[in-house]
Amino acid sequence: MFKLNELSDNEGATHRRKRVGRGPGSGKGKTGGRGIKGQKSRSGVSIGGYEGGQMPLYQRLPKRGFNNINAKTYSVVNVGLIQKFIDEGKIDPKNDLTEDALIASGLIRRLKDGIRVLAKGEITSKITLVVHGASKGAIEAIEKAGGSVTVTAKPKAGTEAA
């Protein structure tokens, strides 16, 4: 039978911390195991990706495409998921479904640059949706169920009313 005061790790499972620069008797004194002189013996030096003068791998690989720093990222919601939340009683279809209502229900976590609704799944409830974007299929599906979609444009940065 085990006793709590007799528990211990297996032999070799734990190691003592290496204390460098603590005198010649420690075996890691003076230069602290870094050798003598040179770039790697100095503090604050990072030479990751340096391949001894050879062209580094990240420079040898071809670069393609374009990263748009002004691209908008939308939180994506499918109409099938909206219907599921309505069926579970987490969303009230009688009220307008704005971004705040979708966040409060837990359907999306955060707003990002707005909400975009996509047409995956089926919707049977009549809802009024106010979002920043919606696909043609999603608009058709919601209107077919008797609802409506209002796509709002977010104000550009620096133009909001003070």
Q: Is residue 9 part of a domain?
A: no
- Rounded distance, CA 100 to CA 140, Å? 23
Q: Is residue 42 part of a domain?
A: no
Residue 76's Cβ-count burial label (10 Å; 0-12, 13-18, 19+) is middle
Q: Is residue 129 part of a domain?
A: yes
The pLDDT of residue 162 is 43
Q: Is residue 96 part of a domain?
A: yes
- Rounded distance, CA 120 to CA 133, Å? 15
Task: With beta carbons less than 8 A apart as the criterion, state whether 100 and 67 touch.
Answer: no
pTM beyond 0.75: the answer is: no
| pLDDT tens digits for range 102-139 | 889 898 998 888 899 999 989 888 989 899 999 999 99
Residue 87's CATH number: 3.100.10.10
| pLDDT tens digits for range 65-103 | 999 999 989 999 999 999 999 898 888 888 888 888 888
Task: With beta carbons less than 8 A apart as the criterion, state whether 127 and 144 touch.
Answer: no
Share of the chain above pLDDT 90, in %: 45
- Rounded distance, CA 107 to CA 104, Å? 8
Q: Which helix (H) or strand (E) holds 115?
A: strand 115-118
Q: Is residue 130 part of a domain?
A: yes
User: What is the total count of domains within the chain?
Assistant: 1
Q: Is residue 136 part of a domain?
A: yes
